[in-house]
Amino acid sequence: MFRAIKRYFRQGEFDCEDVADHSSAYIENDLKDAKRSAFQAHLSKCGPCQAFVETLSSTISALGRLPGINAPSALKKSLLDRMQRGS
């Protein structure tokens, strides 16, 4: 609740915590215009957040280029069994 009050008084401005919370959506172009503008405004004046978003974007891009692998069927079965048991 404190964050919501703080955000209300900042009138839509983003802080570093907001950038961390919305970075994936920003990278994937899933932020609405107002949030995207607030995100970019914060990035324009915060070097650590710029570095964070650049690193996250590079990491996501690199992971997307990795070849897919198939898990052995015994592992899949074991994981599904554990999930169904809740352990």
- Tell me how crowded residue 57 is: count the other CB atoms within 10 A of its CB: 15
- Residue-wise pLDDT for 25-41, tens only, equals 999 999 999 999 999 99
The pLDDT of residue 15 is 93
- Measured distance CA(47)–CA(36) in Å, rounded: 17
- Predicted TM-score (pTM) of the model is 0.67
Closest by Cα among 41, 1, 45 to 31: 41
The pLDDT of residue 86 is 80
Residues in the chain with pLDDT values less than 50? none
